[in-house]
Amino acid sequence: MTGRHHLFIPGPSALPDDVMRAMDRPTIDHRGPAFQALAHDVQDGLRWIFGCAGPVVTYPASGSGAWEAALVNTLSPGDQVLMYESGQFASLWAEIAGRLSLKAEILPGDWRRGAEAQRIEDRLRADPGHRIRAVCVVHNETSTGCTADIPAIRAALDAAGHPALLMVDTISSLGSIPYRADDWGVDVTVGGSQKGLMLPPGISFNALGPKALEAAKTATLPRSYWAWEPVIRLNADGFFPYTPATNTLFGLRAALAMMRAEGLEAIFARHRRLARATRAAATAWGLELQCAVPSEYSAALTALRVPEGASADRLRQVALASFDLSLGNGLGKLADRVFRIGHLGHLNDLSLISALAGVEMSLGLADIAHQRGGVAAAMGVMAEAQRQGEPA
Ligand code: PLP
């Protein structure tokens, strides 16, 4: 098919030309002065984007590596961790904890809302001996399109007077939805490259607060490649203890420059608008949203349920075959029940309209019961935003 592929999965997201150009260059010596300057630049930018004054450890690994790193650096064999089951990604993180010989206690969820602060507070109050060493939550559950209120969860730990570490997965929220690690009292923030940061998959992050650095001194889970300490020590001079993902870091520098130029508030407003437009389309089509709590709707992606008896995977196949449009699939127990539209990263109104048009046509071609008018509803949201003076 001619023209560009339409990548509308909730990450990896579309790569800006500036990022691709920045990476399309010879690899340099990662022990030389040019690399040092690059490493210092991206470290500054990462602290800015995470909202954290402490170190940000960068791994040449997908997000799952950074999940593991957060646990092995701070905890010891047999430690209890409280994991809130907001969806597939929270469940996968809990599985990793179990495999690492941690006692992962899961607060069960229905996958239709984000982690609830009150339930976390109630559970922590029932732990007067402070056996729970960490609370792990996913900020933006990419399988459901629901977000969690992280400041409320911080307040829940404080209200319970509980010293557990707070660890937050921002893999699909960072750079798309407001996040402030230090202001919100998060001890370890896990991030990834391939979503709001507009980079290819392959690098991931742990942003660290002082309490996490303290915990790392006594934690005894085995760790080598994931150990924070050597990375932090060498990063101070702009180096890494292993070969870093040099060219991706060039891309990161370019992406951070684009984000500084647009401004975080404008980026977040753009994501909110694209999410509103997508939900307006869903409502017009008569499709139910997977996220059942409006205050928790994600600005980065929307998961739409197909009517009983219809196949979300068939819709996705039709969209790909007919329009070269990739939509996100339903994960875990949502397989074939939902499809997900990613509206994060390098995206604007008209690119989203192309995806929504593809969905509307595919709904018809796949014979899925719906009403027309989704694209028109989304255009209405965008036009209204223009009238209100919102930058596109
Ligand atoms: N956490 C969230 C919220 C995710 O969306 C993903 C991937 O989509 C992951 C963790 C796992 O990251 P990766 O697939 O990069 O290992």
What are the start-end ranges of the H helices in 295-373? Answer: 312-323, 349-365
285 and 148 within one domain: no
Q: Is residue 51 within 8 Å of 183, Cβ to Cβ?
A: yes
- Pick out the chain residues at pLDDT < 70: none
Q: What backbone phi and psi angles, to 5 degrees, belong to 355?
A: -70, -40
Residue ranges at the known binding site for substrate: 340
List of residues 6+ apart from 200 with CB closer than 8 A: 12, 15, 23, 193, 194, 248, 251
> Can you give the pLDDT at residue 16?
98
User: In the listed set 260, 280, 314, which residue is the last one of a domain according to the structure?
Assistant: 260
Q: By residue range, what is the domain housing residue 269?
A: 263-387
Dist. CA 19 → ligand 1 center (Å): 21
> Is residue 281 within 6 Å of ligand 1 at its C-beta?
no
Expressed in percent and rounded to 5, the helix, strand and coil fractions of the chain are: 45, 15, 40
247 and 284 within one domain: no
CATH number of the structural domain spanning residue 303 = 3.90.1150.10
Residue 372 lies in a domain: yes
Taking the CA atoms of the chain, what radius of gyration do you get in angstroms?
21
- The neighbouring-strand residues paired with 136 are 83, 167
User: In the listed set 260, 295, 327, which residue is the last one of a domain according to the structure?
Assistant: 260
Question: What is the rounded CA–CA span in Å between residue 7 and residue 361?
Answer: 17
List of residues 6+ apart from 286 with CB closer than 8 A: 369, 370, 371
> Can you give the pLDDT at residue 390?
85
List of residues 6+ apart from 110 with CB closer than 8 A: none
**Would strands 204-208 and 188-192 be described as parallel, antiparallel, or unpaired?**
antiparallel
81 and 32 within one domain: yes
Summarize pLDDT for 111-127 with one digit per residue, the tens. 999 999 999 999 999 99
Mutate to test the pocket of ligand 1, among 67, 88, 89, 139 (most ligand atoms within 8 A of CB): 89
CATH number of the structural domain spanning residue 93 = 3.40.640.10
Question: What is the rounded CA–CA span in Å between residue 214 and residue 165?
Answer: 11
> Is residue 172 within 6 Å of ligand 1 at its C-beta?
yes
What is the CB neighbour count within 10 angstroms for residue 243?
Answer: 10
pTM: 0.98
> Can you give the pLDDT at residue 247?
98
Q: Is residue 193 within 8 Å of 202, Cβ to Cβ?
A: yes
Which one, of 298, 327, 319, 333, lies nearest residue 363 by Cα?
A: 319
Q: What ipTM does the predicted assembly reach?
A: 0.99
Residue 162 lies in a domain: yes
Summarize pLDDT for 40-88 with one digit per residue, the tens. 999 999 999 999 999 999 999 999 999 999 999 999 999 999 999 999 9
> Is residue 138 within 6 Å of ligand 1 at its C-beta?
yes
Residue 369 lies in a domain: yes
What is the CB neighbour count within 10 angstroms for residue 98?
Answer: 13
Residue 344 lies in a domain: yes
- The neighbouring-strand residues paired with 137 are 168
User: In the listed set 233, 260, 287, which residue is the last one of a domain according to the structure?
Assistant: 260
Dist. CA 109 → ligand 1 center (Å): 19
**Would strands 103-107 and 80-84 be described as parallel, antiparallel, or unpaired?**
parallel
250 and 272 within one domain: no
Number of separate domains in the chain: 2
Dist. CA 169 → ligand 1 center (Å): 9
